[in-house]
Amino acid sequence: MRLSAVAPLAIVLAAAVLAVLGYLSLRQWQATSELLFRQQSREMATMAAEKVRMVLNQMEDEIVARLRAAVGRPGFTPDALPAFLADAPLVGRLYLFDRRGHLLFPAAFTDRDAAAIAAIPGAIPESFWEREGRMRLGVGGETILATVLKTAAGAPVLAAFSRDPEVLARDIIARTLGPRAGQSFVAVIDEQGRPVYSPEPLAGAERVVIVSLGAELPSWRVALYQPAGLSPREAARRQITLFTAAFGLLLLVIVGGLAATWRLVRRETQIARLKSDFVANVSHDLKTPLSLIRMFGETLEMGRVTDDRQRQEYYRVITRESERLSRLIDNVLDFSRIDGGRRTYDIVPTAVEPLVRDTLEAFDYVLRQRGFALTVRIDPGLHDAPLDGGAVAQALANLIDNAIKYSADRKSVAVEARGEAGRLALSVADEGIGIPRVEQARIFEKFYRVGRSDTQGRRGSGVGLALVRHVVEAHGGRVTVESEPGRGSRFTLWFPLGTRRATA
């Protein structure tokens, strides 16, 4: 693995570890807060149960005290009890027995009463008659409070009473617990979980804890509820989801950033490599004509060439190679001007035919020497076109140079100038090696060379077509390429014919 790949991997790994740690700490926090919430809820419910028991005991104490007073009044008869009952709504049913367990009150009773009446005296231990205590009995699902009272004459009577469940719920529990405060609320439920009292509908609410109401109300319980959607458990869950989403997003951003950086770095390395190729290629390109000039110059200097025609030929080689040298240097200089945004164009009406012919002249010798067939077709009806003559000649020269350089067995170059749909089309076609379709868009990038063109053994700087494109685009035109590998290429420069001035 390369070092450059290790760093982003480490970052992603660190982010992932951080995410896991964050998640674990959130889970921990959730567990702790849940525990705390449960504790608080239990305390609240216990307090509520305590309060209900206290109030109930107080009320019952009061009832017993009043009953004791009524029974202890001289001349007491059970006939006084209905009046007492009317004033003690909490009392459901009241029974009075004498020492032998005979019923003194009520005079008339129902079947339910009968069961209680039969059960109560038997449930009282003998010793209880001697005390003035109280005792709770569970009879037929009801809680009955029993106590021994004394008449004015000193005779013991057993009083036992049940509670009216409605009054109990309405007057004691509802009043004691009151309306809900805060988010959670306390309700009292029976054995089946049905609400005896609740300040809110229980449907949808979450039951958090249940506590008993003790011996006073053995079949009822206090329960603490959390309304739907408000439970802290859900809030914690929401928080965790939010956190997970946020962290996921963060991770995504990190990965995206790394990918972008990686691409940028890769591109930069590519450019750096292309640049170093460029320097090597340019140096080599300059060396070839220079060594030719030197060789022919030295030969002439030594005076060994006696034949006039041959001497003329040598001079021509020297001139031609210097021209090529100038062209190469101009190309690099102009490219560097373009790259620095400093190249300007002087676009004036220019005759097309002389421009093309002059440019071709410079290649005359090479073409002939290498056995190229040259075809030139110039539309005779062409008018002057708004061009920067020098720049367009340079672009054309680059295309011709490429056509020669990238030809193999079939050596032919066709240059054409014609007007088409209000545009001037200058094209250079060859029957050379061609360009793969996927490369056709890239060859116009600076320094770009197909397969770095090394495989084809052809030297070049890779800036020629970049320069060509810049020149046509500065004229408001464009360059197109049609090419097929192995069959040849045709490059066409399209210039608009309307007058136009442009600079780089």
Ligand X SMILES: Nc1ncnc2c1ncn2[C@@H]1O[C@H](COP(=O)(O)OP(=O)(O)O)[C@@H](O)[C@H]1O
Binding site for ligand X (CB under 6 A): 398, 402-403, 406, 430, 432-435, 443, 449-450, 453, 460-466, 489
Cβ at position 300, least distance to ligand X in Å? 31
Nearer to ligand X, 147 or 453 (CB): 453
Q: Of the two residues 184 and 402, which places its CB atom closer to Mg ion in the complex?
A: 402
Q: Are 494 and 444 in contact (CB under 8 A)?
A: no
d(Cα 319, Cα 286) in Å, to the nearest integer? 15
Q: Of all residues in this chain, which one has the CB nearest to ligand X in the complex?
A: 460
Q: How far is the CB of 389 from ligand X (least distance, A)?
A: 21
The span from the CA of 420 to the CA of 438, in Å, is 28
- Comparison of 388 and 401: residue with beta carbon closer to Mg ion: 401
Q: Minimal distance in Å, beta carbon 504 to ligand X?
A: 18
Closer Cβ to ligand X, 289 or 434, answer by number: 434
Identify whether the C-beta of residue 478 lies closer than 8 Å to the C-beta of residue 494: yes
Strand 488-496 with 478-484, pairing = antiparallel
435 binds, among ligand X, Mg ion, none (CB under 5 to 8 A by kind): ligand X
- Comparison of 9 and 373: residue with beta carbon closer to ligand X: 373
CA-to-CA distance for 179 and 105, rounded, in angstroms? 39
- Determine the Cα–Cα distance for residues 16 and 255; give it in Å rounded to an integer: 11
Q: Which two tokens stand for residue 83?
A: 């009046």
CB of 422 to ligand X, least distance (A): 27
In the complex, the smallest distance separating the C-beta of residue 305 from ligand X, rounded to whole angstroms, is 34
What the block records as the tokens of 134 is 């109280």
Ranges within 368-407 binding Mg ion (CB under 5 A): 402
Question: What does DSSP assign to residue 340?
Answer: T
Q: Which two tokens stand for residue 147?
A: 């106590």
- The CA-atom distances, in angstroms, between 379 and each of 88, 347, 364, 376, 412 are 125, 21, 21, 10, 20
List helix spans (H) across 73-195: 81-86, 111-123, 165-167, 174-177
Nearest-angstrom CA–CA distance, 138 and 163:
12
Nearer residue to ligand X within complex by CB, 121 or 462:
462
3-state secondary structure (DSSP) of residue 461: coil
The residue sitting closest to Mg ion, measured at its beta carbon, is 464
Residue 477 binds which entry of ligand X, Mg ion, none, CB below 5-8 Å type-dependent: none
Q: Which of the residues 450 through 479 are near Mg ion (CB under 5 A)?
A: 460, 464
Binding site partner of 406, from ligand X, Mg ion, none, Cβ cut-off 5-8 A by kind: ligand X
**Minimum CB separation from ligand X for residue 411, in Å?**
12
Q: φ, ψ for residue 491 (rounded to 5)?
A: -100, 135
Q: How far is the CB of 401 from ligand X (least distance, A)?
A: 7
Local structure of 403: helix, strand or coil:
helix
Considering CB distances under 5 to 8 angstroms, the limit depending on partner class, which of Mg ion, ligand X, none binds residue 497?
A: none
462 contact, one of Mg ion, ligand X, none, CB 5-8 Å limit per kind: ligand X
Q: Which residues bind Mg ion (CB under 5 A)?
A: 402, 460, 464
